[in-house]
């Protein structure tokens, strides 16, 4: 078990001040390599597609209670983190038993986003099975084990809810059986049939792993990744039309009718932190859970009566189902005391600002404790701590 040093936040690091020194060691945490945060060892557990079986959520809640600090953090990649880990070996055993450590050599590269409502609401196609196929392709090759832990894959079902997030390697469906291949969120012009998507994305990633030098993300390459298409033997279609987003994919929290007549409930939890006790209740509903890159929790495939009961029980416990709540639009990094770089107790200050109706800007905003701006969602204003309060950065 390794205790490493590095960022405490999953996802984007968008500098809003002087650039930091480039690291030479990949310090992204995982299950087997923990990050030494200021408040103790931190483990990051990858959840491809953000998908969780109830038994897995139950295992995470138990781990948070018995080995961590009592809570589960949801990240901006739909992964989760446990803080204050007291026994790394016991955690690895517990997570492996829950099938949350299925590929130890590839543990930190299993970063796969999928349209959160796919197969239930909208979209050209159901990408849930493709998540499994992509995961199998990614973890089945030796060459991908050395990918940086920050590399991100995305499967957008055509809703357009993911492609703007600039995953390193993405597929954006333009029909039920055809996808556009994206690099760093940009259309390459390559079009492939559905069943080729996993291998094509992994071919690109393997090519990147071979040539990347000290680049952590595709966007760090001198050409921004433009040469990867030819290097992977792919040929753009000169007549390829620009993908158009389908309307209708929910982007906030609340009650959503599925195409099959069932109900998805989408909830926010303040600061993206889910107390273990609430997680136990969510697991007890015994329905599939999806965690989204907006740090929302989807409880899916409910009948109306069960959905009403879930809202009645879990809203008083702190889960938020009202899209008008500020917590539908505000997020934060860890801040002090969890991160040694923080200039402020960002979470405490954000809770105060929400309570006092004193947010410094409107709409999506992400509060951070320093210029590194960890975990900033695309399109959010950045509210950064200074030595003299907070300022809204240009982003
Ligand atoms: S304080 Fe800075 S380094 Fe620490 S989590 Fe926040 S943005 Fe990242």
| CATH class, 122-231 region | alpha beta
CA of 202 to the centre of ligand 1 (A): 31
Predicted local distance difference test score (pLDDT) of residue 394? 64
Query: Is 88 in contact with 107 (CB distance < 8 Å)?
Result: no
Query: Is 316 in contact with 324 (CB distance < 8 Å)?
Result: no
Q: Measured between alpha carbons, how far is 49 from 117 in angstroms, rounded to an integer? A: 10
Confidence category of residue 367, pLDDT binned at 50, 70, 90: very high
**207 has a pLDDT exceeding 70:** yes
Query: Is 203 in contact with 229 (CB distance < 8 Å)?
Result: no
Reading the block at residue 25, the tokens are 């060691």
Mean pLDDT across the stretch 220-235?
A: 94
Number of H helices, E strands in the chain: 8, 20
CA of 332 to the centre of ligand 1 (A): 9
Tens of pLDDT, residue by residue over 109-159, are 999 999 999 999 999 999 999 999 999 999 999 999 989 999 999 999 999
- Identify the CA nearest to 154 among candidates 26, 51, 249, 48: 48
Confidence category of residue 8, pLDDT binned at 50, 70, 90: low
CB-ligand 1 contact for 35 (6 Å cutoff): no
pLDDT mean across residues, the chain: 92
CA of 201 to the centre of ligand 1 (A): 31
b/e string for 143-153 if b means 16 or more Cβ within 10 A?
ebbebbbbbbb
Write down the domain spans for the chain: 122-231
CA of 279 to the centre of ligand 1 (A): 26
Predicted local distance difference test score (pLDDT) of residue 243? 87
How large a percentage of the chain has pLDDT more than 70?
94
Residues in the chain, overall count: 395
Tens of pLDDT, residue by residue over 325-362, are 999 999 999 999 989 999 999 999 999 999 999 999 99
Predicted local distance difference test score (pLDDT) of residue 10? 73
Alpha carbon nearest to ligand 1 atom 2, residue: 370
Q: What is the dihedral of CA 142, 144, 147, 149, to 10 degrees?
A: -100
Q: What is the dihedral of CA 46, 205, 25, 101, to 10 degrees?
A: 30
Tens of pLDDT, residue by residue over 30-63, are 999 999 998 899 999 999 999 999 999 999 999 9
**2 has a pLDDT exceeding 60:** no
CB-ligand 1 contact for 369 (6 Å cutoff): yes
Burial class (CB in 10 A: 0-12, 13-18, 19+), 52: buried
Q: Measured between alpha carbons, how far is 240 from 182 in angstroms, rounded to an integer? A: 13
Backbone angles phi, psi at 61, to 5 degrees: -65, -40
Tens of pLDDT, residue by residue over 145-183, are 989 999 999 999 999 999 889 999 999 999 999 999 999
């Amino acid at each position: 078990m390794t205790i490493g040093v590095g960022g405490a936040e999953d996802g984007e690091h968008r500098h809003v001040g002087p650039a930091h020194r480039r690291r030479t060691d990949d310090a992204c945490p995982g299950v087997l390599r923990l990050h030494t945060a200021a408040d103790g060892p931190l483990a990051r557990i990858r959840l491809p597609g953000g998908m969780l079986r109830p038994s897995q959520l139950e295992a995470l809640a138990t781990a948070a209670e018995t080995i961590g600090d009592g809570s589960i953090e949801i990240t901006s990649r739909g992964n989760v983190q446990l803080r204050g880990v007291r026994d790394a070996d016991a955690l690895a055993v517990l997570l492996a038993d829950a099938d949350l450590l299925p590929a130890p050599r590839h543990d930190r590269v299993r970063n796969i986003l999928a349209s959160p409502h796919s197969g239930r609401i909208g979209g050209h196609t159901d990408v849930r099975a493709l998540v499994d196929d992509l995961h199998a392709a990614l973890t089945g090759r030796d060459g991908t084990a050395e990918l940086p832990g920050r590399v991100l894959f995305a499967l957008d079902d055509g809703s357009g809810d993911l492609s703007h997030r600039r995953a390193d390697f993405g597929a954006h469906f333009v029909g039920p059986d055809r996808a556009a291949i994206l690099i760093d969120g940009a259309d390459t012009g390559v079009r492939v049939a559905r069943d080729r998507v996993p291998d094509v994305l992994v071919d690109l990633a393997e090519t990147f792993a071979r040539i990347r030098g000290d680049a952590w993300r595709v966007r760090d390459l001198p050409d921004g990744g433009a040469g990867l298409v030819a290097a992977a033997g792919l040929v753009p279609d000169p007549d390829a039309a620009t993908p158009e987003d389908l309307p209708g994919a929910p982007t906030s929290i609340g009650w959503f009718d599925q195409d099959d007549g069932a109900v998805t409930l989408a909830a926010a939890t303040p600061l993206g932190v889910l107390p273990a006790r609430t997680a136990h209740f969510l697991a007890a509903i015994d329905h599939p859970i999806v965690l989204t890159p907006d740090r929302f929790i989807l409880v899916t495939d409910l009948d109306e009566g069960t959905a009403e009961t879930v809202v009645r029980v879990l809203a008083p416990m702190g889960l938020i189902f009202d899209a008008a709540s500020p917590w539908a639009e505000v997020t934060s990094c860890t801040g002090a005391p969890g991160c040694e770089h923080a200039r402020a107790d960002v979470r405490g200050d954000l809770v105060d600002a929400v309570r006092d109706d004193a947010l410094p800007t409107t709409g999506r905003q992400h509060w951070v404790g320093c210029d590194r701006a960890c975990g900033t969602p695309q399109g959010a204003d950045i509210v950064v701590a200074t030595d003299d309060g907070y300022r809204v950065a240009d982003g």
